[in-house]
Every structure is written in structure tokens, then in C-alpha cells.
Chains A and B, each alone.
Chain A
Amino acid sequence: MAVVAAEEDAGAAVAVEDRVGIGWRGMLAASVFANLDRIDLIEIIADDHFDASSKTLRALRTLSDQIPITLHGVTMGLASMFPVDIRRAENMARLVNTLEPESWSEHLAFVRAGGAEIGHLAAPPRTRQSMDATVANIEQVSKIVGTVPQIENIATLIYPPASMLDEATWVSGIVDGSGCRLLLDLHNLHANALNFGDAPEDLLLRFPLHKVSMIHISGGQWAAEPGGDRPPRMRLVDDHLHDPPPIVYSLLTMVAAHATQPLSVILERDGDYPHFGALLNQLDTARLALQQGRDIAAQTSEAA
């Protein structure tokens, strides 16, 4: 756990405890247990456990007794013009009551409409109306679960049709309206910036960095656009199957340099697993990136 000094508003130096952890996946379970001394927290996909047996829940409870856990939802569909299905919020509430995580999170996405299950996270039109509907959904599920979620920016391969607001304005509006903290996915931000003509660093600085509490890091790969252009135009696909690229660590340093609050970083990996030692090295690289950001902040503060 990296402990660094940051400046409080009043000017007094205080300790900021940043943490680095990994997403819980069945394939990684044994290695995670064997390396708990190098992992500060674990993120568990909530939807995988809504129907879990009491035995599985006991095992997760044992895990949560040993290390802080956070729950991550993927199918609620908060960013929708339709109200969230109450049963999904109740499932989350039950799991939160059972496992007592330190926090839970969901995506700013819609995942179904008109009877069609999209099967993944889709970006809604970024408008005032979708912003208001999302805030209303967050308020509704927060009442059911008992705590507000952290909300995550998503990657999108299509520029959201009929959008009237840019991504940073839309996300900031929802963060302000809901009072939620932001789970900032740096590879999602990076991919959206590159795919839609923005500089990742510029886009990052337009996000409400003072509201970030958790950060996701992951990787992806380039894919050719259909259409047969020569050379083909490429888009970056966020797939969680590749190592985080160097730019993701640079963005992490930027966040740590601009934010004064503690940050918890989660490495997301969904397949094509390297040796676990390589994943531990990625956690160490994230710690170093955080530390570099805190150092920059401290130097800037001293110079001022």
C-alpha cells in the first residue's frame, strides 16, 4: 500500500493511502490467495454471484475477511431512459448485505431496451435527458441497495448517436447530480479519445478528477474499421485481454498528480492470462505510477 503525503485544503500535510488490487476471476483465485501480501483489495463481479450457492458465498465472505473487497455490477443498465429493473437492484442489495464490501459500482451504460438484451455495455445518447434519467436511476437503486454506487465511464466503438454533449460534460453532470464518486476506467477513456479524435490527456483533464475514488486499468487491441479503406482505418477495442499500455500508466500518474483523495486501482483482466507474476508486476507498475503522480503534486505544492 503506497502511503504518500499530499496537501490538505488547509495546507497541512496528510497521509494519502493509495491501493492497488485486481479483479477476482476463478482462473486467478489460487494465485490471488497465494499473493495477498502484494494485493491491497479485490474487485468481484457482482452479477456472477447473484445466484451463488451458500458455499460460494461463504468462500467469498472468507475472502472479504482477509482483504477489502468491492463489488462491480455489469448488467444494471443505469444509463437508460427506462427505469432500472428493481430485481437487479435487489440482487445487488442482497449481495452487499451478505459480503459487506467497502463499496459497489456500476457502469454508465444501457444494456437492454425493447426486449433486446444487448449482452454488453452500450453508450446512450449523451444528452440532458439521458443525464437526468441516469441520475434518477442511480437514486432509485441507491435507496434499494442502501448506499450509492461508484459509477464508471465505458468504452464505446460507436460515437453515441444523437449525442448533444461531449463525454466529459455528460459524465460530470451525472456525478454532480447523483453525488456518486467516479470509477474512472483509464483504458476506456484512452480508447474513446483515440477513436473519436481527442487527446487522452486533454480528455482526462476534463473529467471530474476530484471525484475519482477508484480506477480501472486494462488493455485492448486495434481492429480495422469495415469498409475496405487502404490503409484501413483502425479503432482501439477495450478487451481486457491485453496488458495495459504505457499510456494508461501515464494517465494514472496524471490522475494522482491532480487528485488529493486516496485512489484505489484495479487491474482488469478477463482472459489470455499471462503468468501471475506478470500481473503482479503490472500492479507494481501501477503503484509506481501513483507514487510518481503524488511526487509531482508534492513538488508543485512546494514550489507554490
Chain B
Amino acid sequence: MSSRALECFLAKLYTDPIALERFFADMDGEARRAGLSEEEIAAVGHIDRAGLRMASASFARKRERYAPSRLHLGELLMRRWFK
């Protein structure tokens, strides 16, 4: 019960706060619209809800922490062009 569709679905929940709230509002429907199998739909219906919220928040903090600032991005581009 692992599929690329399930992995994409989880990645979406981990990175898109709106998708996460849509999922909590209609878990079965969102899983079905993501193309998950019946078995996977049943499995995500029993998802660790607290863990999902904590993991999503943790991933968001990591993305924020490691995101290059505009200045940093500019520096990186300069380095690539002129090295």
C-alpha cells in the first residue's frame, strides 16, 4: 500500500496549509480526489492527526529556516555567473 499518488498526497499535506485544512474537513473526499486506492483512502482515514499537524508545522519551520533570502539568492546567482 505505497504508491506514487500517496506519496504526492502526503507531500502536499506537508507543504500546503490550505490543502491540509481541506483534508481535515473532508478526509475521504480529498484522498479520493488525489487518486488514492480504496485501501489507501481507508488508511489515511486513520491518520495520526496530531502528528500530521506537528509534522507539517515542523517542515514549514525547516523550509523557512533554510530558504535562501533574496539577497542570498542574488549572491548565489552572481557566483554562478561569474565563477
| Stretch of A17-25, A125-133, A252-260 contacting B (4+ beta carbons < 8 Å) | A125-133
Determine, out of A32-40, A62-70, A220-228, the stretch whose residues face the partner at the interface: A220-228
- Interface digits, A220-242 against B, CB 8 Å rule (1 contact, 0 not)? 00010111000001010100000
Contacts of A122 in B (CB 8 A): 10-11, 14, 55, 59
B side interface size, CB within 8 A: 36
Question: With an 8 A cutoff between CB atoms, is B38 at the interface?
Answer: no
Known: A112-B11, A116-B12, A162-B40. A157 touches B51 (CB 8 A): yes
Q: Is A14 an interface residue (CB 8 A)?
A: no
* B8 near A120: Cβ-Cβ < 8 Å: no
Q: How near does chain B come to A48, taking the closest CB pair, in angstroms?
A: 10
Q: How far is the CA of A174 from the CA of B48 in the complex (A)?
A: 24
Q: Is the CB of B54 within 8 A of A113?
A: no
Contact B50 A227 (CB under 8 A): yes
Instruction: Name A129's contact: one of B2, B9, B80 (CB within 8 Å).
Output: B2
Instruction: State which of A116, A156, A164 has its C-beta within 8 Å of the C-beta of B15.
Output: A116
Count of chain A residues with a beta carbon within 8 Å of a chain B beta carbon: 36
Contact of A53 among B15, B55, B58, B83 (CB under 8 A): B83
Contacts of A53 in B (CB 8 A): 79, 83
Decide yes or no whether A159 CB sits under 8 A from chain B.
yes
Contact code string B26-49 (vs A, CB < 8 Å = 1, else 0): 000000000000011001100110
Does A158 contact B54, Cβ atoms closer than 8 Å? yes
Tell me which residues across on chain A come within 8 A of B40, comparing CB atoms. Answer: 162
CB pair A226–B2 under 8 Å, yes or no, is no
Interface string of A100-137 (1 = CB under 8 A from B): 00000000001011101111101011010110010000
Min CB gap B32→A, angstroms: 15
Q: Which residues of A contact B6 (CB under 8 A)?
A: 81, 125, 161-162
Is A80 interfacial (CB-CB < 8 Å)?
yes
Inter-subunit contact A162/B4 (CB<8 Å): no
Of the residues A112, A120, A124, contact of B2 by C-beta under 8 Å: A124
Instruction: Say yes or no: is A50 at the interface (Cβ < 8 Å to chain B).
Output: no
A235 near B2 (CB under 8 angstroms)? no
A48→B23 CA distance, assembly (Å)? 35
Q: Is B7 close to A, CB under 8 A?
A: yes
Given known A-B contacts A116-B15, A116-B16, A118-B11, A226 and B54 have beta carbons under 8 A apart: yes
Chain A residues whose CB sits within 8 angstroms of the CB of B16 once the complex forms = 116
Cβ contact within 8 Å between A127 and B1: yes
Is B4 in contact with A118, judged by CB distance below 8 angstroms?
no
A80 to B10, CA, bound (A): 12
How far apart are the CA atoms of A116 and B20 in the complex, in Å? 14
- CB < 8 Å neighbour of B12 from A114, A125, A223: A114
* B2–A156 touching, CB < 8 Å: no
A235-B7 contact given A53-B83, A118-B59, A133-B2, CB 8 Å threshold: no
25 residue pairs A–B, Cβ–Cβ below 8 Å: A51-B79, A82-B4, A113-B7, A113-B10, A117-B15, A118-B15, A118-B63, A119-B59, A120-B62, A122-B10, A122-B11, A127-B1, A129-B3, A156-B51, A158-B47, A158-B51, A158-B54, A158-B55, A159-B48, A161-B47, A226-B53, A227-B50, A233-B50, A235-B50, A237-B58
* Smallest CB-CB A-B distances: 5 pairs: A114-B8, A158-B51, A119-B63, A162-B43, A113-B11
Given contacts A162-B40, A225-B54, 18 further A-B contacts (CB under 8 A): A53-B83, A81-B3, A81-B4, A112-B11, A113-B4, A113-B10, A113-B11, A116-B14, A116-B15, A119-B60, A120-B58, A120-B63, A130-B2, A157-B51, A158-B54, A161-B43, A161-B47, A237-B58
